Structure 1
């Protein structure tokens, strides 16, 4: 059975509450929790999230560790009532004793306690099991567990690699240039470092109560990487959102597909325009800022909007970089915040012109779609790094403890 996104990151303590976001905007809400609300609450554990793809395969998805005592479920976007019931049934089947459901999202006070509901669901499950559950079957199951544990201990490197691949639901691929494994989370392909893969393999051994060696773990990861498919290129006409992909060539919006090979996506959900929608009427605060920042100049306003589209669509192929100048209070920081919102905080990094000139420091900006250089001081140099990056040329990358590439 596949595991829900971030399920593997949940603490092993059965009394620790698991937070779940479910709905069409689950990924964006989970990111907001991880980067803002969760940090304010002192919670640094990434929440489990169930987007449209996960909800479609809910019957074959583990959404909470077995035996967990308490769950907090937030609705994030559209979520059909039948899916809410299915989630409740899966929580009961996993042994969850208490849960709070927030049907209006994480910032609402409306709450439904599911303690009695989960008790009823567990009672119904127990009645169904009485018909088919026999003591002999329980013994057979224990025997099977021992057999699988023994088999894991005797597996070759390639077989252990297959177990690790199955742990990630088979959704792994490798980037040819950087030799970095990526995992498809239902929205984008996220890089997974070798150390994280090794820790996951070690956890599989620990869960099976089998001793292991560093060589056994490393050989499993290295061998698995040899069998992974090579990642394709992202089409330039696709813009990723939290709830799907917009194709600028056809003008259509559709669900995510792993074969799009998206590396980045906006944390914002896409919604079709309302009838007669304009920036002035439907985004009045943004419109006021825009008109004030460009001193009511229509040509400058069009340039700012084009720059924001370039960030949203990740149009690095335009071979441009954005330079924003002006006195204090003229809107430079607001411009940077809007760009960060469009690209997504997880896709934004802060750097300097000097960092872009050095192959070792350039490794720190790999994987980010937006590089912000705030409050730039005087710079002396030919700007070869930024010219090469914005010009689409290959640049040398020299990451620590890995072979250089471009």
Structure 2
């Protein structure tokens, strides 16, 4: 049986900050945001959300903050100095936040700074993914050994990365009493509401990857799927469409070979909706191209088409719950048919999930419009779908076990 995490974490949620937090408190958050020309996007919902979280927690304890940006081998893997500058602007002036670069993270001097922390003081450690053992948690992990015996309490508020079993998440219950953070609890409640609802549901899956394939088998047993972005192109390929040489090359370059086979199995078992037209950029000119004519073009797909917007809106108006997961086009270049669809299906029951999806709302000043007209805007993306599909959150499992006094021993590499 899938774990009901909202119920299972009831005893280990952060609910009384004054009595639960002690200095120093170690907080894991997720401020992984899009990059543009080597610079992080300043008006990021994740940075805004976590600035509020840190402001609140720092009233009751000095904080050490762990976070990540990007992945190894990708240009998004950068230090967190830019994030620190933005957080410093977002936080009230009476809260002091210091940035520790990766070269100084695990030093005696940094340890002494942590031990001298007071309320309204925050230390932001550098990108944990710059550390080699972030991906392999063990008793030998340098980050774990550095914090063990120094930290009093821990908070895991990094729900966007809960589907990972990385050191900075898994080590927390082995360092100190660990709580599920306030933002993460809020998003867990959204999963609980969907799982316990008898209302009809549709999910709009987009984005530039197809990491959501594993989740779709489980989700499509319960809800209808509408696709955009790379998932739409993959579904078309699986159905035997010619999507054009450039688009097919792009898809196959960015995806693993087995993902096409997964897509074929998905469309064999389920009625997955795909766009009936697209915006194709051909010779720098955007053109509306029907799906069955994509093979006649040599341009790149940059958005869903106008007829698809109306078709999807008509079908989704019958769904009480409407989940948008991943951009439907290259919104950052001004292609906004995904936003048009969003406006048409706005209101109670609309749920936005994910960093890039919510960034689209922020870019077009729609975040408050959605949230104040009955919708939900959530910062967790794949992790949200991971939990909604019934898969486990490894680091949260450990927090629950700690609360039950059944925490297993840490594995050793030796």
What TM-score comes out, normalization by structure 1 length? 0.26
For the pair shown, the structure with the greater C-alpha radius of gyration is 1
